[in-house]
Structure 1
């Protein structure tokens, strides 16, 4: 049965859902409140000639992106050039630095030089991580997670102990490595999952494999090229995108969405997939029809928000890599400020991305495109004065690392983005940047449900539902939601008819 489907939002999950739903033969309309697709992954240009990706910048798990395009008979190379970065990134410590090489064999050699036997330990770690990656990214993440019976397959049953679900990531890493720098390096990827390594299941060592073993990449033209490519695929399937269209209300009768109020007008649909913030989407419904009340969201552990700066520097910055992690201070102190004290950190860690080191088209000649990111607690005050103070601190540390001076005076373009901006632009709960933390009690079936329990034709997708935060999981989330409408909702429609 051909359905008229509305997709709310055009982030990665929304575009993915649109492509799969349209491929299944449905009439698909994507409504985006901004003037361009991408959600948190939007891009903007300045008069001076700088081109900034607003959100994601780490292109990991390239096979997941390739799988998306393969489902539609194409590949990423049909749309953009993907560069493998060498080094993948650099990690700065108080008294040292580690540069992560492109080749895995070189990475093993590096580990062996830092700690005796660590090269062999890395091989053991990665063999286990590869297994988790193959099981996790092929079997676990593709489940809609309605109940635990979905995981009752012989393959998953055989794998359950090897997945290390009940061991925390920090303890797991410590079994393999004693050097503090190596431990920090191995713990770093799970920061993307939004919690301390002490509270993330060791299952997520799959992130190490998806990053370090499969490599860190960059799409020439910026991460936004992935958004544009996915939009093109969706449109090729027949999906129609509507920009500057805001969903104001979800209209329901007899347990079924009848229409959406969009820019003051009513539009009828057979089904809706909400790629917008889960909590915000539910505020568009009467309280009795929501999956979760306010107390539920208040009890969730959210991944951090962040302070972002988009800087155009009118001078080259020598000795700075495409990706640089500034870890001169203690990780746990910063994490404690995020999850326990909920305040701005006194000794912060941050990340610097300088894509102009790889792509000359994102900055004018003899200038640099510099993106700074510092993780923060959600829901705290983020006034301009505070933002500026941390900007100066981060730039001083960049200067110390690169041997440059007075970068602040060389700023030609500056834009900050923080908690209140995530709220105003994306209706993000508490101003979160990455969705829910992937703690054990917020994994799989314990995540917010992909289907509304009281409305037969409303589904959710994106970083606040299954499988979780990050670009690859969001792409998979869109596919799951589209499949749910295609396969599971037919009976509901028959009952209504």
Structure 2
């Protein structure tokens, strides 16, 4: 029997680490506070309607499939998926709304871009070439590796690679430098919100996100994103791992500078190693009790860090189907700059941008016959930044804005009357259900000073045998990146285990 590893949380990163370690011969058990795997990749079922709670877009499908092929399994047996084309539709609020279909088919894509004129078309291709070059540097030297020590980043070779990333420009400013058309700029920079950072302040490197969509497509997993969580949990258990659901971890047990196990419901569970997939700020403030074990991440330090935005999500069961509606639709605020500023300085938003996901357009089983499932998301402030309470009045304000905005889309003119079921997730729900610190859906913001070496790492430098993974750790948020975080965490643990052949 191999060394014992206890994992706090069956989120995607925790499952990613657990599968890799179980497959490598370790004895791994996961303690999960909820009743299902996946963390924010949760699912709501009500009256025949199915809604994914958190992530909805599949990008970089090869990373989703990797963990299954690693274990010698066929990914299609766990996560059957299909490519979407168009990937999504975009509306800009105006009189009338301006509408675009965004395809990853180069011919269709260039047809849309060339309508903006040759200057924009040339700029678009130059953007793809430039950001692809940066993406390769990031993939080879930053995203896939840890930064244990200062020397891992502060050396001539890595400094040279860092300069190639050209991170000192913002995402929206970079787009403006390539394309004068405002619609194209915003259509190719709002995606930084996928990881909870504003394109006004997020480093231009994050313009790799729309590039990844355009070059590798947007995909859909049958049954919704939670199918991925279920598939990973199933694989982990097939390999001999154990998941203890409805088990809240009270504390990571530490003595003499070493992790000894977990306290769960007042009972000590011992192990050789501990991995926390709980949100890193939550781990530091709630699960680690010794000040010395936190190192530089004191309560004051945690509270002073920059947090991602949060989300308000309305899950609506609709009393009809919508033939012409896309599975993914983005409606951009008339004044996106003001919209973004309000999100990140904590004010109530008067003209929010909205994301509508209709999974039943791709998988009819996610709604009763003749009906549809709507996932309506509004990016909002995290609880530490927001200057308003999440009262019924606040929720009503945003519900009215959502109905007003969506009713302008062809086919949704009577949307308010067609809602027959509603469930809601506010920032408080993300905090309560998933221990997301300050309700920040995507964890710590991936700003320059909170990225790479300057972001929390997988290995604790204060406590032997303690490791971290998840969206607030390196390399960051977003499902493919979180899966990579789990991989890095497992590799770091194996690197420290005497006799493990992995080095």
TM-score by length of structure 1 reads 0.94
Which residue of 2 is the match for residue 297 of structure 1?
Answer: 302
Q: Which deviates more from structure 2 when the two are superposed, residues 213-222 or residues 392-401?
A: 392-401
Distance 1:151 1:360, change over 3 A: same
Q: How does 1:170-209 map to 2 (within 5 A)?
A: 170-209=172-211
Matched, 1:285 2:288: yes
Rounded to whole Å, the distance in 1 between the matches of 2:120 and 2:161 is: 26
| CA contact 1:86–1:101 (8 Å) conserved in 2 | yes
Which residue of 2 is the match for residue 52 of structure 1?
Answer: 51
Q: Which deviates more from structure 2 when the two are superposed, residues 243-252 or residues 116-125?
A: 116-125
Q: How does 1:221-260 map to 2 (within 5 A)?
A: 221-260=223-262
Q: How does 1:41-120 map to 2 (within 5 A)?
A: 41-46=41-46, 48-95=47-94, 96-120=98-122
Match of 2:447 among 433, 439, 444: 439
Which residue of 1 is the match for residue 356 of structure 2?
Answer: 352
Aligned-CA RMSD value: 2.1
Which residue of 2 is the match for residue 495 of structure 1?
Answer: none
Q: How does 1:457-496 map to 2 (within 5 A)?
A: 457-490=465-498
- Report how far residue 389 of structure 1 moved: 2.6
TM-score by length of structure 2 reads 0.93
SS in 2 for 1:117: helix
Which residue of 1 is the match for residue 20 of structure 2?
Answer: 20
- Report how far residue 159 of structure 1 moved: 4.3
SS in 2 for 1:39: coil
Rounded to whole Å, the distance in 1 between the matches of 2:73 and 2:142 is: 25
Which residue of 2 is the match for residue 454 of structure 1?
Answer: 462
| CA contact 2:251–2:289 (8 Å) conserved in 1 | no
Q: How does 1:251-330 map to 2 (within 5 A)?
A: 251-282=253-284, 283-288=286-291, 289-291=293-295, 292-330=297-335
SS in 1 for 2:201: coil
| Superposed CA offset, 1:282-325 (max 9, x none) | 22222412231122122211111110111101122354211111
Which residue of 2 is the match for residue 418 of structure 1?
Answer: 426
- Report how far residue 151 of structure 1 moved: 4.8
- Report how far residue 343 of structure 1 moved: 2.0
Rounded to whole Å, the distance in 2 between the matches of 1:308 and 1:377 is: 13
| CA contact 1:287–1:293 (8 Å) conserved in 2 | no
Rounded to whole Å, the distance in 1 between the matches of 2:274 and 2:452 is: 22
- Report how far residue 489 of structure 1 moved: 4.7
| CA contact 1:133–1:207 (8 Å) conserved in 2 | no
SS in 2 for 1:401: coil
| Superposed CA offset, 1:244-297 (max 9, x none) | 111012222111122311122221111100001112222222241223112212
SS in 1 for 2:446: coil
Matched, 1:368 2:367: no
Rounded to whole Å, the distance in 1 between the matches of 2:131 and 2:359 is: 29
- Report how far residue 426 of structure 1 moved: 1.4
Rounded to whole Å, the distance in 1 between the matches of 2:174 and 2:261 is: 50
- Report how far residue 334 of structure 1 moved: 1.5
- Report how far residue 156 of structure 1 moved: 5.5
Which residue of 2 is the match for residue 125 of structure 1?
Answer: 127
- Report how far residue 155 of structure 1 moved: 7.7
Match of 2:147 among 142, 145, 148: 145
- Report how far residue 153 of structure 1 moved: 8.6
| CA contact 1:199–1:440 (8 Å) conserved in 2 | no
SS in 2 for 1:51: strand
- Report how far residue 157 of structure 1 moved: 6.1
- Report how far residue 9 of structure 1 moved: 0.4
Rounded to whole Å, the distance in 2 between the matches of 1:71 and 1:14 is: 16
| Superposed CA offset, 1:106-158 (max 9, x none) | 21221111232323322221122222333323431122212353357998666
Rounded to whole Å, the distance in 2 between the matches of 1:479 and 1:347 is: 40
| Superposed CA offset, 1:18-77 (max 9, x none) | 01111221100011111110110011211x211111110011122222333332223432
Which residue of 2 is the match for residue 383 of structure 1?
Answer: 391
SS in 1 for 2:188: helix
- Report how far residue 331 of structure 1 moved: 1.7
- Report how far residue 237 of structure 1 moved: 2.7
Which residue of 2 is the match for residue 35 of structure 1?
Answer: 35
| Superposed CA offset, 1:167-222 (max 9, x none) | 22222111210000000011121122322223222222221221121111101111
Q: Which deviates more from structure 2 when the two are superposed, residues 270-279 or residues 206-215?
A: 206-215
Which residue of 2 is the match for residue 494 of structure 1?
Answer: none
Number of aligned residue pairs: give it: 490
Q: Which residues of structure 1 form unaligned runs of 5+?
A: 492-497
SS in 1 for 2:254: strand
